[in-house]
């Protein structure tokens, strides 16, 4: 290796980042809450690969969507296949259902997943090219009660991780029966103001005028305010579904706002769409959302299986969550001499088999130096193992948080740690 090569430090790819242990602890806590709550509602984990055939997203996410046209991590692999790092999860689940004939199982099917997604987006605060989502999907349930149940579940999760000031925006985007007439009216309205739209939205006038509502530019938003709204075009079936959906939201005492322009950036939604919005630093931020996609499975060549789901961005969730990490409690072994060191290895092994986390250090130190070391690494317990203690079979234990001392066999000390830790944890959780 040349000198120059040696000095070239490698850093992470733009738009990606390391989650270091202190922060990862918060991620674990949020993920654990999510798993627990999803399982409470009968969801089971389905883990699909991170890479998929590119056509899966062209077909599922929609060939004209911003995600597919601008933001996909697509490349050709060594076998000459076009593969894509998944930009969202739903098409993968749909593929898995068809591939494994999961539709033959009792319905509704309820799946969840927690993991990374990839979009070649402009990196900005709280947004990364590798980002992470909590994702839930239900298949084979037409009843709008399930749309409301998913939202109630999301609301429970947000409360569990200390997110406050959540607004639920809801809408219906219709179905293939009622959307064409609306699409026609919308296209006509958009064509009338075409020269006021940004080049991107001008293109959307022909392809998918619904997407103009998603544009963040002020000119386009002003123009979009003159457009007809979907609510006036809903067919009887969609209107009834939406009416019942709101009744179930009321039943759960969830406060929501009907947002007629909420169409979400994806082609596949039918009927229900929703977004979870949080007030943060004076700005409204969507931390998650979802909706119904009753035709996707069929369009993929699968059975006629309706679907509804939700995705929450983990990075954004963590930005607004008030969750605090409880520091890990460790036992540290202050040993002197080779024999005591070996006894410490065995004692730590025994403590760990009792479920007590231990930190072993192998350097020979004085007792005083052991204690200052234990302080530095924030050990909560110190077990003193010297030659005298070994001979007597009785050891000293120091509680570093309360400056208390105990004496006893390793079994007795382990019991003390377990008792004290469990009362400490229940005191913390009551706070
Ligand atoms: Zn309809
Ligand atoms: Zn625009």
How far does residue 211's CA lie from ligand 2's centre (Å)?
A: 9
Q: Which of 266, 264, 239, 160 is nearest to 152 (CA)?
A: 160
User: How many Å apart are CA 263 and CA 210, to the nearest integer?
Assistant: 7
Residue 84 sits in the same domain as residue 51: yes
Q: Find the ligand nearest to 177 CA.
A: 1
Instruction: Please report whether residue 195 resides in a domain.
Output: no
Nearest ligand to the C-alpha of residue 235?
Answer: 1
Q: Are residues 55 and 148 in the same domain?
A: yes
CATH number at residue 113: 3.30.930.10
Question: Does residue 205 form part of some domain?
Answer: no
Judge whether 215 lies within some domain: no
CATH number for the domain spanning 410: value is 3.40.50.800
Tell me whether residue 190 is in a domain. Answer: no
How many angstroms separate the alpha carbon of residue 197 from the centre of ligand 2? 6
Give the residue carrying structure tokens 């739209």: 197
Q: What's the CA-to-centroid distance between 265 and ligand 2, angstroms? A: 13
Q: Are residues 242 and 390 in the same domain?
A: no
Contacts of 426 (CB under 8 A, 6+ apart): none
What confidence category does residue 425 fall into, taking pLDDT thresholds of 50, 70 and 90?
Answer: confident
Total domain count, the chain: 2
As a whole number of angstroms, the distance between CA 83 and CA 78 comes to 10
Question: Are residue 314 and residue 414 in the same domain, yes or no?
Answer: no
Residue 16: inside a domain? no
Residue 203 lies in a domain: no
For residue 287, what are its two tokens?
């931390």
Query: pLDDT tens digits for 11-32?
Result: 999 999 999 999 999 999 999 9
- What is the predicted pLDDT for the residue at 145? 98
User: What percent of the chain lies above the pLDDT cut of 90?
Assistant: 77
Q: What is the number of other CB atoms lying within 10 angstroms of the CB of residue 84?
A: 21
In this predicted structure, the answer to whether residue 247 has a pLDDT above a threshold of 60 is: yes
229 C-alpha to ligand 1 centroid (Å): 14
CA of 263 to the centre of ligand 2 (A): 15
Residues 58 and 135 in one domain: yes
Determine the distance separating the centroid of ligand 2 and the alpha carbon of 223, expressed in angstroms. Answer: 9
Eight-state DSSP code of residue 42: T
By DSSP bridging, strand 283-292 and strand 270-280 are: antiparallel
Give residue-wise pLDDT tens across range 220-230. 999 998 999 98
- Rounded to the nearest angstrom, the distance between the alpha carbon of 413 and the centre of ligand 1 is 68
d(CA 203, ligand 1 centre) in Å = 26
What residues contact 42, with CB distance under 8 A and at least 6 apart?
Answer: 110
For residue 194, the ligand closest to its alpha carbon is 2
- Average pLDDT value for the chain: 92
Q: Identify the CA nearest to 231 among candidates 250, 258, 213, 207.
A: 258
Distance 75 CA to ligand 2 centre (A): 29
**Would you say residue 219 lies in a domain?**
no
The verdict on residue 34 lying in a domain is yes
Shared-domain flag, residues 389 and 252:
no
pLDDT tens digits for range 352-381 = 999 999 999 999 999 999 999 999 999 999
Distance 222 CA to ligand 2 centre (A): 10
Tell me, yes or no, whether 282 and 352 share the same domain: no
Kindly give the distance from the C-alpha atom of residue 313 to the centroid of ligand 2, in angstroms, as a whole number. 24
- In this predicted model, what pLDDT tens digit does every residue of 136-167 receive, in sequence order? 999 999 999 999 999 999 999 999 999 998 99
Domain shared by 256 and 387, yes or no: no
Residue 356 lies in domain = 331-430
Ligand 1 centroid to residue 300 C-alpha, Å: 21
CA of 214 to the centre of ligand 2 (A): 8
Does the pTM surpass 0.75? The reply is yes
295 in the same domain as 160: yes
Q: How far, in Å, from the CA of 29 to the mean position of ligand 2? A: 39
143, 167: one domain? yes
- pLDDT digits 0-9 by tens, 74-125: 999 999 999 999 999 999 999 999 999 999 999 999 999 999 999 998 877 7
49 and 171 together in one domain: yes
Q: What is the pLDDT of residue 4?
A: 56
Highest mean pLDDT among 145-159, 271-285, 322-336: 145-159
Cα–Cα distance between 97 and 217 in angstroms, integer?
Answer: 39
């Amino acid at each position: 290796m040349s000198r120059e090569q040696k000095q070239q430090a490698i850093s992470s790819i733009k738009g990606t980042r390391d989650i270091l242990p202190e922060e990862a602890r918060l991620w674990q806590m949020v993920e654990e809450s999510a798993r627990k709550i999803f399982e409470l509602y009968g969801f089971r984990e389905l883990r699909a690969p991170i890479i998929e055939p590119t056509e899966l997203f062209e077909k599922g996410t929609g060939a004209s969507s911003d995600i597919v046209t601008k933001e996909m991590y697509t490349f050709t692999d060594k076998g000459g296949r076009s593969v894509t790092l998944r930009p969202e999860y739903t098409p993968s689940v749909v593929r898995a259902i068809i591939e494994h004939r999961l539709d033959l199982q009792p319905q509704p099917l309820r799946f969840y997943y927690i993991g990374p997604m990839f979009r070649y987006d402009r990196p900005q605060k709280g947004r990364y090219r590798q980002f992470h989502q909590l994702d839930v999907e239900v298949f084979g349930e037409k009843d709008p009660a399930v749309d409301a149940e998913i939202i109630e579940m999301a609301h429970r999760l947000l409360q569990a991780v200390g997110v406050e000031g959540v607004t639920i925006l809801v809408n219906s985007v219709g179905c293939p029966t009622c959307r064409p007439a609306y699409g026609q009216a919308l296209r006509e309205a958009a064509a009338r103001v075409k020269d006021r739209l940004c080049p991107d939205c001008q293109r959307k006038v022909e392809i998918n005028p619904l997407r103009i509502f998603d544009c963040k530019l002020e000119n386009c938003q002003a123009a979009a305010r003159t457009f007809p709204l979907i609510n006036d075009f809903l067919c009887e079936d969609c209107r009834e579904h939406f009416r019942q959906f709101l009744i179930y939201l009321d039943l759960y005492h969830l406060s929501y706002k009907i947002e007629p322009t909420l169409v979400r950036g994806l082609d596949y939604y039918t009927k229900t769409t929703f977004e979870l919005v949080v007030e943060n630093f004076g700005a409204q931020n969507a931390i998650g959302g979802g909706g119904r996609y009753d035709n996707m499975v069929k369009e993929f060549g699968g059975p006629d299986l309706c679907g509804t789901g939700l995705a929450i961005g983990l990075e954004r969730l963590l930005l607004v969550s008030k969750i605090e990490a409880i520091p890990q409690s460790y036992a540290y072994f202050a040993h002197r001499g080779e024999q005591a060191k070996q006894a410490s290895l065995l004692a730590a092994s025994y403590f760990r088999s009792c479920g007590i986390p231990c930190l072993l250090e192998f350097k020979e130190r004085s007792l005083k130096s052991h204690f200052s070391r234990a302080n530095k690494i924030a050990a909560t317990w110190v077990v003193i193992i010297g030659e005298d203690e070994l001979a007597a079979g009785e050891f000293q234990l120091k509680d570093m948080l309360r400056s208390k001392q105990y004496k006893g066999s390793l079994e007795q000390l382990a019991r003390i740690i377990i008792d004290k830790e469990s009362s400490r944890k229940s005191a913390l959780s009551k706070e």
